[in-house]
């Protein structure tokens, strides 16, 4: 059974510092991995999607890497800002089988606070 872990559970950094968020998964048979942002009491905003064949994906100040063989992904946020304060979740999609279709498996998230 796939298990997705995010460490640390919480992180506080001063503004301007780079953020490094980790996501690990136990079963390397994934189709893709997606990073989301969630503000308190709100829905999920998709940040980046990495296909299993890719090593990294970039969008603005965000860069996500994927090492499928070791079961790890890292989200880097450059030059953090107070507006980056949120919970960040990673989720993996399993490879294509009838039983697993559509089942995103989420990590518990990393709660980030960026202080001015």
For residue 109, state whether it binds another protein (rule: CB under 8 A): yes
For residue 36, state whether it binds another protein (rule: CB under 8 A): yes
For residue 85, state whether it binds another protein (rule: CB under 8 A): no
CA distance 56 to 41: 30
Backbone φ, ψ for residue 83 (5° rounding): -70, -10
Backbone φ, ψ for residue 33 (5° rounding): -135, 135
Answer for which of 1, 14, 41, 83 binds another protein (CB under 8 A) is: 41
The site for another protein (CB under 8 A) is made up of 31-32, 34, 36, 41-46, 49, 89, 91, 93-94, 96, 100-104, 106-109
């Amino acid at each position: 059974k796939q298990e997705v872990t995010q460490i640390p559970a919480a992180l506080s950094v001063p503004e301007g510092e780079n953020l490094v968020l980790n996501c690990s998964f136990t079963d390397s048979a994934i189709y893709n991995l997606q990073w989301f942002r969630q503000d308190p009491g709100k829905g999920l905003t998709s940040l980046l999607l990495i296909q299993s064949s890719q090593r990294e994906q970039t969008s603005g100040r965000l860069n996500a890497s994927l090492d499928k063989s070791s079961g790890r992904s890292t989200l880097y946020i450059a030059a953090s800002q107070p507006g980056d304060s949120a919970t960040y979740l990673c989720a993996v999609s399993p490879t294509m089988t009838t039983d697993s279709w559509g089942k995103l498996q989420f990590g518990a998230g990393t709660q980030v606070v960026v202080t001015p």
